[in-house]
Structure 1
Amino acid sequence: MTVKEAPITYFEDNLIFDVNGDVRAGFKVPDDHIDYRSEDEQIQISDEWEDFYWNLKDEAHLLMVPRNLELTDHFDKLKGQVVEDLKSFGQEQLDRTLNYLKQPRDGQEGKYFHPDHQVKEKRETFTYDFYVLMKLKKTSAHLENFRDRLKFRFKDLKRQIDNLSGVSLPEIFEEELHNYRVQENMAYQRLRDLFGNCKRMSPDEIAYLIKQAFWRGIADPPQLMGYRIQAVPDERDGEPIRRPKKSDILRLTGGMQDDQHGRRLRVKQYVSGKKKGKGAYKVGYQCFLVLSHIPDDRPVPGTNWVNWLQSLPFPVALSKRVVPVHYRKALSRVRNKKKELGDQESHIHSAGGSVPRYLQDAIDGTEELEGDLVQDRFPLLETSVTICVYADTPEELERRISEVTDLYEDHVFQVDIPHGQQFQLFQEFLPGSPILVKDYMQSLDPTMLAGSFFGSTRSLGDRDGIFMGESDHLDVFCDFTRGPRDEELSQSPAVCFVGPPGQGKSMAADYIVANLVYLDIQVVVIDPKNDRGHWPDIFPEEFSRHIRVVTLTANKEDRGKLDPLTSSGKDGANTAKKILQTLANVPDGSYVATAISEAVEDTLEDETAPNMIQVLKRLRTHYEQQVKTDADTTQETREDFKQKLYTLEHHSQRGQGQLLFSDGSGESINLSNRLTILQIQDLDLPEEGQSEGGRLGVALMVALSDFARAFANQPSKKFKVVLYDEAWRMRKTREGRNALKELILTGRSKNSALFIVSQNAVHLKMADSQQEDGDEIQNNLGMRFIFRPGTGKEAERACDLLNIEPTDENIRSLQKLRAGEFFLYDWEGRVNKVSLPLKKMNPELFRILDTRPNQREALLRELEQKKQGKEPEMPEVEVVS
């Protein structure tokens, strides 16, 4: 067994002290996506890293660390969020999803996985975090006179001797710590200037990164919250110091490590069971591979050699050590090497031989590098790159090593597995550790290092939330409440689903709704196609009793359901005025508009249960007692008022207009259910500028918008969602556009989200005039789900919505999407293709949400047969045993 001293002695905040007395400051850098980005955008990202390397003053340690999502724990957490009265339904849905996610990724297409069928194969779900640790310059106390500085150096020398001899604990002078903090802050500001949302590593992160190294290949280590290393305050010759306890670091290590194999490391840990006494020792295997040759003649961008690792279906870790060499020193090295190669060439010539090809290539490369250094004056970067591969069996480890090796050797990189140095490389992965293996350092220029695209990711979505599909070998989860809740994001929670009919946009939106409801999120769906009217009949009773379907028709029984005064009282006054003015086609400030306003206000003031029919009665009284009898009223005014009043009374008694006029006998729409579906069909909306016809449609749209606004604005700690299906209808009127804009812009403050479902990305461009760009909706969208566009023009607009360049390649990628596949733009602006395997994962839910007419008819026939007591003919479902 290998037992060696930990290379780290102490950490405080994000400062880490190693056994040599060196200090490194740790930072977490934001990830970025490069897939589907144009070459210019990739160059811009590369330039930021090149700037970082150009200005590197001392050693930097770059770490790419996988973070596993333990699926069972994740779904247990979600189950804990399921509301009590939907426990059975919610947990069954989650169990089905979890069971699917336990299947091998290359499972059979179209198979049905029974929820009780358990599979032993392990499926790993993970993302990557990126860290930069900057070595700080050794500092001493800032003492004013020579005598004090000499005295401090003597004490510092004495401290180092004591530390090396092991006679005392490590010591840290308080003034040194202050000076390191000054350097750390400068490094932090520099990184923020380059990469934006850079964060200081927290002590919990440092503790986790240390501990997880000893658990790779076994499991995620036990959670650490609030872990701190204790430092005992003391004095040395009158100066305040701290003495860290070595045991605090050792507690983070633990387990046993065995490197006797030579080319791999065996780690062993005791893993506690969920039940008392059910724990056991488990073994993991780690191997550390080094990139012993990195070709420096590859294009940038185009050789994204760190990003390549994310194409692997299993997690790996990467450590990159970079030590800058000033260009003058680098030039001296190159010239010495050139002289050495020249001597070899002369010796061969003098012996009458010919210069080998490898030697000539080395001479040519050295001369080229010398010329570049003289001209560009760039630093050389002594670099070592180590990849940690790990697994729970030696056989799986060998398979993974082979995949990593093939990945790089296919691109003419050389990969070695150092013999006898596995434990040192293991230690090098610990944050804040010194460089322990220098045999594989090689000189690279800043451009080549920047072109590796450290920090780029293929991950999507969130580490919490519901399962939304698969992106290659990565599982994607989405937390639809994080946008407004996360202080760093502070984004609008609005979401859009865009694509032509039949590509799965409505199914994806409805799948999300079904999940959100049992997670205690209240939802209102405005459904103009009657796609969801059968839900209360087909969903399990536990879920269906929380669904209220409100069908808005021209029938008498639906009278007054959209009456704004009945539903909202005084809060509905402006809506009532707008509806009446729209139906009567009267402008603001006119005589009739003033009379309407007074009638609404009087009704609200005098009636305990106000409604729109009472407003019409007041308008009729106003006409009979004032307009008709007042000698000062012109004939034209009388006729105009009479005509407008007749129009309003006509709408109040016939067709869909009855929806807006309650007489007090019916009930208004109750939005207290967990899920309310408002269905209104045959909504006739005019095009912009059209004055005749469609005014009733506009008035109904105003009323619907008012209901959505009132629902979203109601004070509640619960998150709320308004889903507008076929949102292009809203775009056709100024009132509809204003309603969407208001719901999007106020959603974050009102703890509510607007979900927009539309057929074309161009429908989200909503300008009220030619002077506006119409991008207000798009610019305030959070997540975006884009399904296969119908035409090239639509694909170009979809690229704009995804914030990617409309290149031929990106347009082809969009047009090659299949039904159920989509491009996801997540909270961080990352983009990639996702497939939602709902049919395999949950075939019953897939059938319920399937909006294809023939499938819906078959489902309704089965419902009818059940009502008649007949055994329905169920379609054959293949079960995988």
Structure 2
Amino acid sequence: MATRIAFPVKYFEGNLIFGINGQVYAGYALPDQHYEYRSEHDQLTLHDRLQRFYWNTKADTHALIVPRFQSIAEPFNVWNLRKPPKELAEEGTRYIEECMEFLRGREVSQYRFYMFVRLQETDVSGSFFAQLKYAAKDFKRYLADRSGVDAPEIFEEEMEAYSMQEQLVFDRIEEDLAGERVTAEEIQWLIRRGFYRGIGEVPIRKGWEPKADRIQSKGKKARRPREREILTLTEGLFDATAGRRLTVEQVVDGKARKGYMAFLTISYFPDHLEFPGDEWLLWLNRLPYGVEASVRTEYLDYREALDKVRNKKKEIAAEDEHAEDSGVRASQQLTESESEANQLERDLSQDKFPILKTSIILCVSAASERELQLRVQAVQDLYTDELFQVEVPYGDQWRSFNEMIPGGERLITDYIHFMEPATVAASMIGFSRQLGDGEGFYIGDSGHQPVFFLHDRGPRHPELTTTGSAVIVGKVGKGKSLLAKLLAYTALLMRAKGVVFDPKDEWRKVLRLLPELQEISRIVTLRSVEEDRGKLDPLAGASKEELVEAGETAKRILQFLARTPDGTYEATVLGRAVDQVISEARDRENPRHPSMLQVLKYLKERMEEAPERRRDRLEEIHEVLSYQAFSGQTQLLFGDGTQKPIELTQQLTVLQVEGLVLPQDGETDFGRIGLAVMMAISDFSRRFSNQTSDQFKFVLFDEAWRLSKVKEGRDILEELIRTGRSKNSAIYIVSQSASKDLIGDEIKMNVGYQFVFGPDTPQEAVAACELLGIEANDDNIDMIKNLPAGTCLMSDLENRVNELRVNPVQERLLRAFDTRPGSEEDLGEMEQTQRKHKEAVI
């Protein structure tokens, strides 16, 4: 039987938790931030923010690090919710099953971070004499309030006073830690999760909050929590007889299941910690499973701390004197304690910093006793390697369980450390090595943790402001095409509709090796023949609502082909010719089909009306454009209004332009026609993305770096990304370069994900760091340059950065997606690497 301890919480409302002994805590959720790959300056700045919080928050605090455990199947729930198209159902189901089989035996967890601050006790009775009067008048309430045997009323005046206090605390939390108030549902989850450790995810009661009756007490408005209602959150049969672990039994889906948990305490800290380097709670991310952590602090002003140190010195001196009287030499530990006390006394007297009376509890859970023992040993080994000491206190497991409940009090007092705020802040609470969306489709691993990607999380998430678009950069053969095709394939599995621009004819192989895609796909080959004339005409096929944007694209393409910059007379004449075509197309009584050839007709009319000194240049522009309209690939851009636009009835449309010549890196003029065709394809993609539909849409641009070499191309890419969130669409840009000239600030600010594979040069490595938002220091540059094939640095929607080892799991996907020379022969080696990796992480 567990030691009988009264449940520490009597009521909660909003983010306020009322304890049975009169304590009131305000709770806050902290954002998960990445710590890896930051500069030392950034790391010190982040540490200073935590230190400032602990220094200036002159109250007891309770920090919680809580992994939300998931079953392997849970992240894939989107597969069932979105109901894949029937053509993909069979192979898609097989793919999901193989992913789950590959991940079987591994634990999926997402860390969450919380900070609870104890508010000063509010007593509406007023002065000390009024409190005595209050206690004498209503001794029953006073006794119940302090003993926790009942749930006495909470006066409205008290609630108002606590709310005013909470606002001040929230202001500090928001400024120092970017925290937000916890919700009642989160508090419910934080309480109930302890009763399901080692078993599974907690069943949450949606919309449930503890109820309180509104009453009048002593002539004042009050609320009285309903007796025992809060206890309905506590369930399960516990066994604490083992001494160093707890066992809980729950009924899940009609079957009895057991979970095992053990609570550990950090009993010894090394004398000197280095920062950066000794982030003593961030180390938990090294383990392939989640570990909970609870850090309770009690604030001691430097004067109070100094008194305690001096009292401790007296105790040490007494022990030393006793040893001398007994003829025994003082122990080394006693000598060290005396030296530490003297040093601490000097530091406190000089620097006047507060001391935090700190206790740390770690919690490990598992589905079996054997697994629990292995995990406990791994945690102890982890800290022993760093010269820390971790104990599993015998007989204190149930107390530790209750101490980790938010709103409770410290119950374990044998392992208290007197720390400076800087030492507590070195734990780096609120930082992790997590990566990805935590749900969706498995795309690879970051360390021990699988990484999941949910394509439409950005557009659908109510709090995120980024799109679901992605930039994938890196040199040839490093894996960017493999990742891009994996993202596209998994998007199709969730019923997304897509357009792929395929300049290297790679998707023909994909469709050949993945027959399930053949029924939902259409390859549109655009050739330099009369039959394909006007298929990319930006004015053709545009609805009346789209004509204005289509007109802007037409102007950009015509100016680009005519080498006519903005603001010139010739650009104005071209623009007016386009406007006239659009105006006639929007005529209600006699609308005409707009086309680029129609623009050339009006250009000739305006040319004849132009001043003499301008006519020669306009004649030259008209001659050039007329020639291009009937020769080579540019005839794809010039329709006469009778051509049918490219159909988008299939789920996947692949655009291929035969013989498309694009400029190589460093070229600015050669391949101009190819760039004009790319601009038209980009406009076609914009029109596709702007379709009004709840269905998620994606556009995959390979070789996008060539399009972005010119301003007109960058403008279109930026527009596609900027509008992606509102249109429930995403653009996946695949580029060889991350330089600012090719991927501008507008793209960087609006794209949701960044994936950087190994770059070619140090300059590209610097640009890659800027794209990821990390410092371009020597360590980061060397690391990025030496990334192995198939591994990249990923930045997710929360701007967390870490390594991603891409893994399509299935051999057939590896074969279909891999475009490296000799990739077919490399498959055996890659599969062997997969097997070794799986064995390593289990």
TM-score normalised per structure 1: 0.87
Measured in 2, the distance between the counterparts of 1:741 and 1:77 equals 29
Match of 2:337 in 1: 362
Taking structure 1 as reference, are residues 58 and 217 closer, same or farther at Cα in structure 2, changes over 3 Å only?
same
C-alpha offsets along residues 725-745 of structure 1, whole Å, 9 cap, x if unaligned?
111111222211211222223
Match of 2:594 in 1: 610
**Structure 1 SS opposite 2:429:** coil
Taking structure 1 as reference, are residues 782 and 877 closer, same or farther at Cα in structure 2, changes over 3 Å only?
closer
Please give the root-mean-square deviation of Cα atoms over the aligned residues, in Å.
3.2
Measured in 1, the distance between the counterparts of 2:786 and 2:668 equals 42
One-letter identity of the residue aligned with 1:7: P
Shift of 1:757: 0.7
Match of 1:57 in 2: 58
Q: 1:213 aligns with which of 188, 194, 197?
A: 194
The answer as to 2:116 corresponding to 1:133 is: yes
Taking structure 1 as reference, are residues 804 and 156 closer, same or farther at Cα in structure 2, changes over 3 Å only?
farther
Shift of 1:647: 2.7
Match of 2:223 in 1: 242
Measured in 2, the distance between the counterparts of 1:374 and 1:854 equals 70
Residue correspondence of structure 1 range 4-153 to structure 2 within 5 A: 4-85=5-86, 86-102=88-104, 122-141=105-124, 152-153=134-135
Measured in 1, the distance between the counterparts of 2:557 and 2:505 equals 24
One-letter identity of the residue aligned with 1:613: L
Residue correspondence of structure 1 range 463-474 to structure 2 within 5 A: 463-474=438-449
Match of 2:519 in 1: 545
Shift of 1:503: 0.9
One-letter identity of the residue aligned with 2:818: D
C-alpha offsets along residues 599-640 of structure 1, whole Å, 9 cap, x if unaligned?
7725646663333334445556x49xx94xx9x975x76665
Shift of 1:74: 3.0
**Structure 1 SS opposite 2:196:** coil
The answer as to 2:829 corresponding to 1:852 is: no
Q: 2:573 aligns with which of 566, 569, 594?
A: 594
Measured in 1, the distance between the counterparts of 2:388 and 2:554 equals 72
Measured in 1, the distance between the counterparts of 2:85 and 2:667 equals 51
Taking structure 1 as reference, are residues 876 and 599 closer, same or farther at Cα in structure 2, changes over 3 Å only?
closer
One-letter identity of the residue aligned with 1:257: F
One-letter identity of the residue aligned with 1:579: I
Measured in 1, the distance between the counterparts of 2:496 and 2:741 equals 29
Match of 2:308 in 1: 333
The answer as to 2:254 corresponding to 1:293 is: no
- Given that residues 20 and 147 in structure 2 are in contact (C-alpha distance below 8 angstroms), is that contact kept between their aligned partners in structure 1? no
Q: 1:809 aligns with which of 779, 798, 803?
A: 779
Q: 1:305 aligns with which of 276, 280, 289?
A: 280
Measured in 1, the distance between the counterparts of 2:643 and 2:810 equals 40
Shift of 1:149: 6.6
Shift of 1:689: 12
Q: Structure 1: which 5+ runs fail to align?
A: 103-121, 273-278, 768-773, 860-873
C-alpha offsets along residues 386-431 of structure 1, whole Å, 9 cap, x if unaligned?
1111222222111111111111122222222222221111111111
The answer as to 2:644 corresponding to 1:667 is: yes
Match of 2:741 in 1: 765
- Given that residues 25 and 133 in structure 1 are in contact (C-alpha distance below 8 angstroms), is that contact kept between their aligned partners in structure 2? yes
The answer as to 2:753 corresponding to 1:783 is: yes
The answer as to 2:539 corresponding to 1:565 is: yes
**Structure 1 SS opposite 2:673:** helix
- Given that residues 383 and 443 in structure 1 are in contact (C-alpha distance below 8 angstroms), is that contact kept between their aligned partners in structure 2? yes
The answer as to 2:238 corresponding to 1:257 is: yes
**Structure 2 SS opposite 1:668:** coil
C-alpha offsets along residues 112-145 of structure 1, whole Å, 9 cap, x if unaligned?
xxxxxxxxxx3210011111111111112276x9
Match of 2:725 in 1: 748
**Structure 2 SS opposite 1:214:** helix
Match of 2:161 in 1: 179
Measured in 1, the distance between the counterparts of 2:559 and 2:64 equals 64
C-alpha offsets along residues 761-780 of structure 1, whole Å, 9 cap, x if unaligned?
11x4349xxxxxx5333233
Residue correspondence of structure 1 range 453-472 to structure 2 within 5 A: 453-472=428-447
Q: 2:768 aligns with which of 798, 806, 820?
A: 798
- Given that residues 327 and 378 in structure 1 are in contact (C-alpha distance below 8 angstroms), is that contact kept between their aligned partners in structure 2? yes
**Structure 1 SS opposite 2:337:** helix
One-letter identity of the residue aligned with 1:364: S
Residue correspondence of structure 1 range 575-586 to structure 2 within 5 A: 575-586=553-564
Measured in 1, the distance between the counterparts of 2:754 and 2:668 equals 34
Measured in 2, the distance between the counterparts of 1:691 and 1:237 equals 84
Taking structure 1 as reference, are residues 643 and 400 closer, same or farther at Cα in structure 2, changes over 3 Å only?
closer
- Given that residues 766 and 775 in structure 1 are in contact (C-alpha distance below 8 angstroms), is that contact kept between their aligned partners in structure 2? no
Shift of 1:693: 5.6
Shift of 1:169: 4.2
One-letter identity of the residue aligned with 1:33: H
C-alpha offsets along residues 408-455 of structure 1, whole Å, 9 cap, x if unaligned?
122222222222221111111111111122122121111111112122
Shift of 1:16: 1.4
Match of 1:714 in 2: 691
Match of 2:497 in 1: 522
Match of 1:867 in 2: none
- Given that residues 697 and 730 in structure 2 are in contact (C-alpha distance below 8 angstroms), is that contact kept between their aligned partners in structure 1? yes
- Given that residues 534 and 640 in structure 2 are in contact (C-alpha distance below 8 angstroms), is that contact kept between their aligned partners in structure 1? yes
Shift of 1:295: 2.4
Taking structure 1 as reference, are residues 187 and 99 closer, same or farther at Cα in structure 2, changes over 3 Å only?
same
One-letter identity of the residue aligned with 1:558: D
Taking structure 1 as reference, are residues 162 and 695 closer, same or farther at Cα in structure 2, changes over 3 Å only?
closer
Q: Pick which of 591-600 and 672-681 moved more.
A: 591-600
C-alpha offsets along residues 17-55 of structure 1, whole Å, 9 cap, x if unaligned?
222121111111112222222222111111111111112
Q: Structure 2: which 5+ runs fail to align?
A: none
- Given that residues 599 and 615 in structure 1 are in contact (C-alpha distance below 8 angstroms), is that contact kept between their aligned partners in structure 2? yes
Match of 1:676 in 2: 653
Shift of 1:789: 1.6
- Given that residues 687 and 732 in structure 1 are in contact (C-alpha distance below 8 angstroms), is that contact kept between their aligned partners in structure 2? no
Measured in 1, the distance between the counterparts of 2:36 and 2:272 equals 22
Match of 1:200 in 2: 181
One-letter identity of the residue aligned with 1:213: G
C-alpha offsets along residues 748-767 of structure 1, whole Å, 9 cap, x if unaligned?
333332221111211x4349
One-letter identity of the residue aligned with 2:674: G
- Given that residues 709 and 741 in structure 2 are in contact (C-alpha distance below 8 angstroms), is that contact kept between their aligned partners in structure 1? no
- Given that residues 536 and 545 in structure 1 are in contact (C-alpha distance below 8 angstroms), is that contact kept between their aligned partners in structure 2? no
- Given that residues 738 and 768 in structure 2 are in contact (C-alpha distance below 8 angstroms), is that contact kept between their aligned partners in structure 1? yes
Shift of 1:713: 2.6
Q: 1:371 aligns with which of 338, 346, 349?
A: 346
Q: 1:727 aligns with which of 694, 704, 729?
A: 704
One-letter identity of the residue aligned with 1:254: E
Q: Pick which of 284-293 and 550-559 moved more.
A: 550-559
- Given that residues 79 and 91 in structure 1 are in contact (C-alpha distance below 8 angstroms), is that contact kept between their aligned partners in structure 2? no
- Given that residues 698 and 735 in structure 1 are in contact (C-alpha distance below 8 angstroms), is that contact kept between their aligned partners in structure 2? no
Match of 1:423 in 2: 398
One-letter identity of the residue aligned with 1:179: A
Taking structure 1 as reference, are residues 696 and 414 closer, same or farther at Cα in structure 2, changes over 3 Å only?
closer
Shift of 1:489: 2.3
TM-score normalised per structure 2: 0.91
Measured in 2, the distance between the counterparts of 1:123 and 1:833 equals 19
Match of 1:271 in 2: 252
Taking structure 1 as reference, are residues 851 and 156 closer, same or farther at Cα in structure 2, changes over 3 Å only?
farther
One-letter identity of the residue aligned with 2:508: G
Match of 1:863 in 2: none
Taking structure 1 as reference, are residues 355 and 81 closer, same or farther at Cα in structure 2, changes over 3 Å only?
same
Measured in 1, the distance between the counterparts of 2:830 and 2:270 equals 56
Q: 2:291 aligns with which of 316, 340, 343?
A: 316
Taking structure 1 as reference, are residues 397 and 536 closer, same or farther at Cα in structure 2, changes over 3 Å only?
closer
Taking structure 1 as reference, are residues 345 and 268 closer, same or farther at Cα in structure 2, changes over 3 Å only?
same
One-letter identity of the residue aligned with 1:138: E
Shift of 1:363: 1.6
Measured in 2, the distance between the counterparts of 1:689 and 1:799 equals 22
One-letter identity of the residue aligned with 2:175: D
One-letter identity of the residue aligned with 1:141: V
Aligned residues: 823
One-letter identity of the residue aligned with 1:260: T
